[in-house]
Structure 1
Amino acid sequence: MSESSQAVGTDVEELAERLSRMEARVAELEAWRASLRNPLSPVHQAAPPQRPAVDDDSVEPEVSEASGFDLALVGRTLIVLGGAFMLRAASDSGAVPIVAGVALGLAYAAAFALFAMREQVSRVSASFHGYASLLVAFPLIWEATKKFGIFGPWSAALALAGISALIVALSWRRRLNGVAWGLNLFALALAPLMMLFTVAAAPFIVYLLALGITTLWMGYELDWHLLRWPVALELDVAMFAVAFLVATNRNGTMTPAAAIGLGFGVFAVYLVAFALRTVARQRDIVPFEIVQAIGAYLACLGAAVWVARSRDIGGTPLALATLAFAVGCYALSFAFLSRRSSTINFSFYSTLALVLTLTAGSLLVHGVASSALWSLLAVAACWAAARYLKTSLAFHAGVFIVAGFVASDLLTLGLRTLFLPPPSPWPSGSGASLLVMVACLYVAWLRPIEHEGSYEPWSWAKLILLVEGGWAVATVAMLGIGLLVSTAAGEDAGSIAVVRTALLSLLTIGAAWASRYERFSPGRWVASGMIVVLIMKLIWDDFRNGRASTLFISLAIVGIALIVAPRLGRKASVPGGAEF
């Protein structure tokens, strides 16, 4: 018995020892498991140092939103989508009214976006919540509009704007560029579908405009520069398509007045946004602003002008509004000038002001009044160029003179009387032609303007003004002389050719002679170009239409011009120091 008792005691001791070892092992396993859950535990601190974790959301973690792929987050997203389908099933079965189901679905999507804004939620998790909100809300709005007819055009656009505002707030607050791009893709895909289905473009153009301005400021504030490009492009294309349908009377749901207001509004909102940044923050204009200003002018304001002209409605209000923006752009350009801002801002706003002025003037005045307007603006631009030492305004004066040529028919009259076969009957001049010619003579008197130590920009502007002045003088003179010649000699092409050659030769010699003076120094280039024109004109006109007697005179005149003009041109002055 004693031996058996000893054997039992030995077995018990062995079992106790084994149980103690098992308990110790379990304790070690529990401690290891706890270390996995709590990184601050002693076990975890004793472990070899691993890659440091980044907890600050303001710093991009090494395992970022783009590189981190967590199946658990994918699973949560699927559960979120499952909840949305559960609401859909309840609505389909009649347990929940359709309207209530749609409202609950939108609230469901909004709740996850709001939840993701909390700082306690990691950026990766917030991204998945944002994607889930997009996947629930946008298809729901489309189905509520198309299938159930709950939303009309404006209410659908309002619903899109509401959920988009939440996603924008989430993206902005948590710096989730991927979620912002997801919103862009959903919006750019759904907006045109809504326009086609509802046959109502205005609500969704307004929505795209709001999204465009939002992405614009995201680029300004967050340096997300690419977001704004696709929105602006789709907005411009949509506005142009709408204007085309209205202008061609193929869209019965939008009135011409609404199309005009919408087109001008899109252009105006973008322009105001650009001005706020460049003026309030004194920043230089960026490539996107230049490109979108051109795109919005052509596709939005240009489309509004197209509708106004084709439907003969709203031209005067549109012209006045455009003129107001032109004045504002000129004021901004001179405000930048007074602050000594960079040249690019002045050039951008002054050029935009020029284009807007031309647009407004073409809508507002016609005939002699149009010629008077362009002549007055050319003189004003030339005066401002000399007053503020801005060569770009001299180019503006040249553009206004061209507009005056078109309005007064000086362009076509010059071609007909100086180069084309003699017209029958010979045209007579008008007061508009004389008015534009006087403006040409005034702007041609512009004194030299130095720009960054160089007179080259002024020389090019002055060259344009001199050519325009020569064209105006030659045309008006030929209108009078040609009328006398045609009256005395009849419709004699040879005689007309001699008069043309003599007049152009005088202008060539006069330009070379005037180049001796500083303010007319680019006249030597005018004379060089006129020599080429004279030779081509001699071959094209005089040899074809002249007789032996007229050819003798023409050849002699051109020969004299070829001898005298180069000699005078060699005495050309260097610009600088003249007074206006």
Structure 2
Amino acid sequence: MHALEPDRSSLEAAVRELQVEVSRLTERVAVLERRQAPATAPAAASAALAEPVAPAPPPGVTRRPEAAPRGQLDLSMAVRFGRLSVVMGGAFLLRALTESETLTADLGVALGLGYALVWVAFAARAARLGALSDATFHGFAASAIANPLLFEATTRFEALSAPLAALLTLVFGGALLAVSWRRSLRGLAWVAVTAALLTAGGLVFQTPEPWPFIAVLVIFTGAALALSYRKGWVPLRWSVALVMNALILGATLAFFVDRPVLNLTVRELVALQLLLAGTSLAVLAYVALARRLEMGLFEIGQAATSVGIALELAPRVLATEGTGFAVPGAIAAGLAALCYGLVVLRWRSDHLTNLAAYGGIASLLAVQGLYWLLPPIAAESAWVLIALAGAWLTRDSANPAMRVTAAALIAAAALSSGLVRAVIYGLGARTGYDWHPITAGALIALGAALVTYLAVRWRAGDERSGWRWTGPATALLIVFAWGAGAVLTVILAPPVAKVDTSAVDPGALAALRTAVLTVLIWVLAFLGRTRRRPELLWVSYATLGYAGLKVLIEDLPNGRPTTLFVTFVLVGSVLMLLPRLIRRPAAPAPAAPSGEAPEARAVAAPAPKTSPTPPSPA
């Protein structure tokens, strides 16, 4: 302890010396400030005048303006549009010099493309410096210069060959697309892709070598779709789909009118249709299977549109050459089986939207593919078997896709077999129907509608009354009920109304149709009440509404007093008794537990509540 005393005293002495030195320096600084006080004001003024000036922006870039003071307009967009107008004026100057032969066609095209390339470079530079609006305007200017020039240089001036024009279209569009991808410029991406697709699509029709431009279309379609899914740019997908669908439809129509400018063979045109359908299905598989996302309106709509175009137009194109449909039919049937497998197994997808999309596309493929491969009656039987199998496999599942698909296949069988035509003429207000017996295919479709309805709905409990069961069941019930009514009318019409002779009785035929509809209403309402199935009541209401409309349209103009008596009695009885018939019976009392008598339940039941008796004043 004593050894530390000298060290403590020395530290205290050092601190005192530092305090003295700081005081001395503070006094000297104060003296110096008093001496230079008069020169402070001019120095401050000169410093204010010498305020640093921001460097000038690079060429082609407009400085992002500060917020305009209140009451003043922001004119930055006007400046950009003005610069765009000047740029387009330069492009038209080059065009005027070329058309006046001051410049040769080759030199004018080269200068125009170089001019457009300069503005591509300005767009890239502006995007790199953060001037995103300027980058979009520069890119739009470059696209507005390059794409029309490439089209005219190939078709009008003939300065570019088809492969070179396709390559330049790919270069300009790809450069702008790269700029938009790096800086997330959605507007520039839309301009670049749409302009490139329109240019290449137009050159497909205007050049004798369409395949280089078809390759450009395929490349830009893939790049745009990849970019749209990577960045979430939904409008870009729609623009690509609209252009490609219009191109395929236009090419097919041009083929049918035999335009000489379209140099595509039958097989090449069919390959183009199948390419569009395959691309749409690949996008759908990428979204639903690879990324396990729920499909949106674009994926479902584009897949259905492209598959429908291919299935509808491909056989018409092939028919012009007498080519068989075996290979397209086998491909469509195989894809349909794959989609049905995805629905039943629910592989890599639990989204009901995806499963419904699989089922809908599978129905399109199965209907057309089997129709190409098999005779009509065999194809209709195959549709019915697929519907029955799908409805049975998913009868207890919450997945409605196969039930909806089954209803669609039964409807297709009814339409193809003539059952729908029998419904229209048998229950409709017409007499010019060929009252021949119903075909075997129509009877198969009718029976399949009933069996499929029973598989879909009849075994379901009361708790399963949502749209997943009642929606497909309603469609199947309409096919069966109205089809059965049409079959009954076709059978009874010849003896009742003499429709197979020239002495047809329109009044008797109208009364017969009303009687058949009345029977349908009674049966549907009774079953709906007893089986507690809402779709039975819905179809009975729809049938009743049609019967009332038919009385006004057919029975009153064509009826006689005797037939009108029958008509009004039948319709009136339905209107009076139907509300009582469809009124649900009271729910039965719950069953007593085993071993407990009803008297015991009565004793155990709580006594009814009574108002308490007030206490007596005594």
* AA aligned opposite 1:511: L
- Write the mapping of 1:511-522 to structure 2, written as runs, cut at 5 A: 511-518=524-531, 520-522=533-535
| Bigger Cα displacement from structure 2, 320-329 vs 268-277 | 320-329
Q: 1:515–1:521: 8 Å Cα contact kept in structure 2?
A: yes
In the alignment, is residue 280 of structure 1 matched against residue 290 of structure 2?
Answer: yes
Residue 435 of structure 1, CA deviation:
0.8
Q: 1:437–1:473: 8 Å Cα contact kept in structure 2?
A: yes
Aligned to 1:459: 470
Q: 2:266 aligns with which of 245, 256, 273?
A: 256
Q: 1:411 aligns with which of 414, 417, 420?
A: 420
Q: 1:382–1:393: 8 Å Cα contact kept in structure 2?
A: yes
Cα offsets for 1:391-415 (capped at 9, x unmatched): 3433333322222222111122233
Answer with 1 or 2: which has the greater Rg: 2
Aligned to 2:513: 500
- Write the mapping of 1:212-251 to structure 2, written as runs, cut at 5 A: 212-251=221-260
Aligned to 2:583: 570
Rate the CA distance shift 1:335–1:116 in 2: closer, same or farther, 3 A. farther
Secondary structure of the residue that 1:208 maps to in structure 2? helix
Distance 1:486 1:69 in 2: 79
How many residue pairs get aligned? The number is 513
Q: 1:393 aligns with which of 384, 387, 402?
A: 402
Distance 2:474 2:445 in 1: 18
Secondary structure of the residue that 1:388 maps to in structure 2? coil
Distance 1:68 1:560 in 2: 74
- Write the mapping of 1:119-130 to structure 2, written as runs, cut at 5 A: 122=129
| Bigger Cα displacement from structure 2, 370-379 vs 434-443 | 370-379
Rate the CA distance shift 1:259–1:503 in 2: closer, same or farther, 3 A. same
Q: 2:363 aligns with which of 354, 361, 382?
A: 354
Cα offsets for 1:25-46 (capped at 9, x unmatched): xxx99xx99x9999xxxxxxxx
- Write the mapping of 1:70-469 to structure 2, written as runs, cut at 5 A: 122=129, 142=151, 145-146=154-155, 149=158, 151-177=160-186, 179-184=188-193, 186-251=195-260, 253-297=263-307, 302-304=312-314, 306-308=316-318, 313=323, 315-334=325-344, 336=346, 339-341=349-351, 343-365=352-374, 367-422=376-431, 426-445=435-454, 446-447=456-457, 455-469=466-480
Rate the CA distance shift 1:338–1:179 in 2: closer, same or farther, 3 A. closer
Aligned to 2:14: none
Secondary structure of the residue that 1:512 maps to in structure 2? helix
Residue 380 of structure 1, CA deviation:
3.2
Q: 2:427–2:489: 8 Å Cα contact kept in structure 1?
A: yes
Q: 2:329–2:369: 8 Å Cα contact kept in structure 1?
A: yes
* AA aligned opposite 1:233: L
Rate the CA distance shift 1:511–1:129 in 2: closer, same or farther, 3 A. closer
Cα offsets for 1:171-213 (capped at 9, x unmatched): 4345455653452354145324423431555543442232122
Distance 2:324 2:113 in 1: 41
Residue 431 of structure 1, CA deviation:
1.3
Rate the CA distance shift 1:305–1:573 in 2: closer, same or farther, 3 A. farther
Distance 1:452 1:305 in 2: 46
Give TM-score scaled by structure 1 length. Answer: 0.69
Cα offsets for 1:80-117 (capped at 9, x unmatched): x99xx9xx99xx999xxx89x99999999999989999
Residue 526 of structure 1, CA deviation:
2.5
Distance 2:558 2:402 in 1: 43
Residue 306 of structure 1, CA deviation:
4.8
Q: 2:295–2:353: 8 Å Cα contact kept in structure 1?
A: yes
Residue 570 of structure 1, CA deviation:
1.4
Cα offsets for 1:359-401 (capped at 9, x unmatched): 4455455532343233223323432441433334333333222
Cα offsets for 1:252-294 (capped at 9, x unmatched): 5212222121022112212202321332112222343344335
Residue 310 of structure 1, CA deviation:
6.4
Q: Highest relative contact order (Cα 8 Å, sep 6+), 1 or 2? A: 1
Distance 1:275 1:416 in 2: 43
Distance 2:148 2:527 in 1: 74
Cα offsets for 1:438-496 (capped at 9, x unmatched): 10211221326689985245334322222211122222233333345467996552554
Residue 502 of structure 1, CA deviation:
3.4
* AA aligned opposite 1:412: R
In the alignment, is residue 525 of structure 1 matched against residue 535 of structure 2?
Answer: no
Q: 2:343–2:402: 8 Å Cα contact kept in structure 1?
A: no
Q: 1:426–1:486: 8 Å Cα contact kept in structure 2?
A: no
Rate the CA distance shift 1:146–1:387 in 2: closer, same or farther, 3 A. same
Distance 1:549 1:360 in 2: 52
Distance 1:139 1:537 in 2: 60
* AA aligned opposite 1:389: A
Q: 1:481 aligns with which of 485, 492, 496?
A: 492
* AA aligned opposite 1:570: R
* AA aligned opposite 1:368: I
Q: 2:162–2:212: 8 Å Cα contact kept in structure 1?
A: yes
Q: 2:197–2:220: 8 Å Cα contact kept in structure 1?
A: no
Cα offsets for 1:153-176 (capped at 9, x unmatched): 355324433554454344434545
Distance 2:308 2:434 in 1: 41
Q: 1:417–1:423: 8 Å Cα contact kept in structure 2?
A: no
Distance 1:488 1:192 in 2: 57
Secondary structure of the residue that 1:447 maps to in structure 2? helix
Residue 246 of structure 1, CA deviation:
0.9
Aligned to 2:24: none
Rate the CA distance shift 1:202–1:244 in 2: closer, same or farther, 3 A. farther
Rate the CA distance shift 1:298–1:404 in 2: closer, same or farther, 3 A. closer
* AA aligned opposite 1:260: V
Rate the CA distance shift 1:256–1:551 in 2: closer, same or farther, 3 A. same
Q: 2:525–2:540: 8 Å Cα contact kept in structure 1?
A: yes
Distance 1:515 1:127 in 2: 64
Rate the CA distance shift 1:495–1:521 in 2: closer, same or farther, 3 A. same
Distance 2:404 2:585 in 1: 23
| Bigger Cα displacement from structure 2, 127-136 vs 263-272 | 127-136
Distance 1:185 1:552 in 2: 68
- Write the mapping of 1:9-88 to structure 2, written as runs, cut at 5 A: none
Q: CA RMSD in A?
A: 5.1
Residue 349 of structure 1, CA deviation:
3.0
Q: 1:513–1:565: 8 Å Cα contact kept in structure 2?
A: no
* AA aligned opposite 1:320: A
Distance 1:458 1:297 in 2: 28
